[in-house]
């Protein structure tokens, strides 16, 4: 029996070329510049903003998850994070540092709906420019280019430090943890949401998980994922945390985001008209990574971690002499 299907050879050839291009054009982490360049490019072409809106992060679909508009789920995530962190009990004019602010979606909600005074920082100049364009002048929100691994602010500068999905871009999680806590005022609150991998100290990655995780690192300029347990330990190790670091796993609440993000390309075909064939190719190029993300989060290889920590009134000696002088 002849199993040959006309055109199958061409289809397989195109598929092989597509896979090769996907691997060759990976955005591997090299330095902070590679992260900045990736976000500059995504911001300049406008495709990510068109499909993902003002929030370059996952949405919150409730527990149990329910069907929800993709963009609505993203803004809902911000409000859920505010409530989970206890920030809704804070007064207007509370100072907030939004670390990894993107184009300012979360910062604008925090300023508009809660009356906070927000400073958003990102390593991407193009994101800062776009955030400024999207932000009404009456909102108490400003945006700056800054490096989360070496924040330019003095110790004890903010009442709240806020961050969503910035951690995977940080090459040294211990330094990242210290910087987040360093700029908090005594008694201030850090609330962070992040992509995390399973704690491989308890269960090492197996034969298929290792290449999947490597692709998730290579495709979107990620040097490493922390585990929820590991990053909580690094926050505690700063000596700046009062009491325990509170954590939660929001994987079920956020899991529908991955397939929803792909579905946007189907239900919003006007994107093809707006961005043309090159835009279609750029969009399709991200689909394998989105599917791998869904696989990783759906099987427990990755988890969506939530973290809350309060800055101590006094500093544990031996962690850093510089910080002791600011308490």
Q: What is the CATH number of the domain that holds 252?
A: 3.40.50.150
Confidence bin at 6 (pLDDT 50/70/90): low
Are the CB atoms for 116 and 96 separated by under 8 Å?
Answer: yes
* Chain segment 220-229, per-residue pLDDT in tens: 999 999 999 9
CA distance 216 to 225: 9
Q: What is the pLDDT of residue 200?
A: 96
Residue 153 lies in a domain: yes
In the chain, how many domains are there? 1
* Chain segment 86-138, per-residue pLDDT in tens: 999 999 999 999 999 999 999 999 999 999 999 999 999 999 999 999 999 99
Residue 264 lies in a domain: yes
Residue 59 lies in a domain: yes
Q: Which of 9-13, 24-28, 192-196, 219-223 shows the lowest per-residue confidence on average (mean pLDDT)?
A: 9-13
Q: What is the pLDDT of residue 316?
A: 55
Residue 238 lies in a domain: yes
Residue 1 lies in a domain: no
Domain of 102, in residue numbers: 28-324
Residue 105 lies in a domain: yes
Residue 8 lies in a domain: no
What strands lie across the sheet with 95-99, from one edge to the other?
A: 141-145, 117-122, 95-99, 158-164, 184-197, 302-311, 241-249
Please give the model's pTM, rounded to 2 decimal places: 0.91
Residue 97 lies in a domain: yes
Give the count of beta carbons closer than 10 Å to the beta carbon of residue 174.
16
What crossing angle do the helices spanning 70-85 and 257-267 adopt, rounded to 10°? 150
């Amino acid at each position: 029996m002849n199993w040959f299907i006309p055109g199958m050879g061409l289809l397989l050839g195109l598929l092989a070329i597509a896979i090769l291009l996907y691997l060759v054009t990976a955005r591997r982490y090299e330095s902070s510049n590679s992260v900045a360049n990736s976000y500059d490019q995504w911001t300049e072409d406008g495709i990510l903003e068109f499909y993902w809106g003002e929030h370059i992060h996952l949405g919150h679909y409730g527990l149990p998850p329910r069907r929800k508009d993709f963009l609505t789920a993203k803004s809902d995530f911000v409000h859920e994070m505010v409530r989970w962190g206890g920030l809704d009990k804070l007064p207007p004019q509370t100072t907030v540092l939004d670390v990894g602010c993107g184009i300012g979606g979360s910062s604008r909600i925090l300023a508009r709906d809660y009356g906070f005074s927000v400073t958003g920082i990102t390593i991407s100049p193009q994101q800062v420019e776009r955030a400024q364009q999207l932000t009404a002048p009456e909102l108490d929100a400003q945006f700056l280019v800054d490096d989360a691994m070496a924040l330019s602010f003095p110790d004890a500068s903010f009442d709240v430090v806020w961050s969503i999905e910035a951690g995977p871009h940080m090459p040294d999680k211990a330094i990242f943890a210290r910087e987040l806590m360093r700029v908090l005022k005594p008694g201030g609150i850090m609330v962070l949401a992040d992509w995390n991998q399973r704690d491989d100290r308890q269960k090492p990655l197996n034969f298929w998980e290792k290449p999947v995780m490597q692709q998730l690192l290579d495709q979107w300029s990620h040097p490493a994922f922390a585990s929820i347990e590991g990053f909580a330990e690094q926050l505690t190790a700063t000596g700046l945390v009062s009491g325990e670091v509170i954590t939660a796993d929001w994987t079920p609440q956020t899991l529908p985001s991955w397939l929803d993000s792909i579905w946007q390309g189907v239900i919003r075909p006007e994107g093809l008209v707006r961005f043309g064939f090159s835009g279609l190719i750029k969009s399709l190029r991200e689909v394998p990574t989105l599917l791998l993300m869904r696989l990783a989060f759906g099987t427990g290889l990755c988890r969506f971690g939530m973290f809350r920590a309060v800055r101590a009134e006094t500093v544990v000696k031996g962690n850093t002499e510089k910080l002791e002088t600011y308490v």
